[in-house]
Amino acid sequence: MIVKKTYKDQVIDHIYQLILTDELQPGDQVKESLLAVQMGISRAPIREALKELMTIGLVEYRPQIGNFIPILTPKQIIDSYTTRGVLEGYAVMIAGEMFSAEDLAQLDRYVDEMGTAARAGQHKEVVDIGGDFHDFLAAHTDNLQLLEYTNRLSLKLHVLFYKHWGLLYKPDEIEQRHRAIVDSIRSRDKAGIEQVIRAHYVETGTKIATVQAARSETAA
């Protein structure tokens, strides 16, 4: 196992956990001094970590005021998913011929597992396999610039909305939607690939936005 060397990396992991466990909620300020005391280190590595999280979009920086967990409006959520769809759609379209028969078989396996887990009500597995599926897709591009942005968005959306994903899919639907992506790749229909992936993310984003809006409604 790889040991984290610098405090900065530990801080990043720690903040991930705080967000995933709702100890840090959207709108909360991430106070450097407080974290420093809690972790028994100085503020310097905390600031380093916050800058990195800023790059991804997991914290929002306001000069002279501090770092905050972003409150995303429904539109912003949809926009972020849409952007990911645009990037992944292009990446997969360009990589179209790069997907070998084995790759397609692997994708089919992902979809099978996803469907099985979904019907068994194993939400966490469904989300994890879905993540693997899309990472597998994006990783087939040789455009590293595009991959960098795709990964940043993927990570941001994953951390911020992981807890909602279990609520919003219907087992058969999620399997069918991902199967459609694999089929479009198999058909080598470039324009089709791009459209299917874009549509997938727009729909996912719309659902997440709805769920999230409903939550803040009940919370208020």
Figure out which of the listed residues 12, 19, 58, 67 binds DNA, where binding follows CB under 7 A: 67
For a second copy, the binding residues in 124-153 under the rule CB under 8 A are 143-146, 149, 153
- How far is it, in rounded angstroms, from Cα 177 to Cα 197? 10
Tokens of 88: 């992944």
Q: Which of 74, 98, 44 is nearest to 164 (CA)?
A: 74
Among 22-30, 81-89, 99-107, 119-127, the segment contacting a second copy (CB under 8 A): 81-89
E strands in the chain: 29-30, 60-62, 66-68
Query: Taking CB under 7 A as the rule, does residue 90 contact DNA?
Result: no
CB of 109 to a second copy, least distance (A): 29
- How far is it, in rounded angstroms, from Cα 153 to Cα 147? 10
| Binding map of a second copy across residues 90-129, x = CB under 8 A, - = no contact | x---------------------------------------
Nearer to DNA, 63 or 102 (CB): 63
Residues 6+ apart with CB under 8 A from 147: 91, 138, 139, 141
- How far is it, in rounded angstroms, from Cα 211 to Cα 101? 37
Nearer to DNA, 45 or 130 (CB): 45
Name the DSSP letter for residue 4.
P
- How far is it, in rounded angstroms, from Cα 176 to Cα 183? 10
CB of 129 to a second copy, least distance (A): 25
- How far is it, in rounded angstroms, from Cα 71 to Cα 160? 10
Figure out which of the listed residues 1, 2, 3, 5 binds DNA, where binding follows CB under 7 A: 5
Task: Give the residues lining the site for a second copy (CB under 8 A).
Answer: 5-6, 47-48, 51-52, 54-55, 63-64, 76, 79-80, 82-83, 86-87, 90, 143-146, 149, 153
Task: Give the residues lining the site for DNA (CB under 7 A).
Answer: 5-8, 29-34, 41-45, 47-48, 63-67
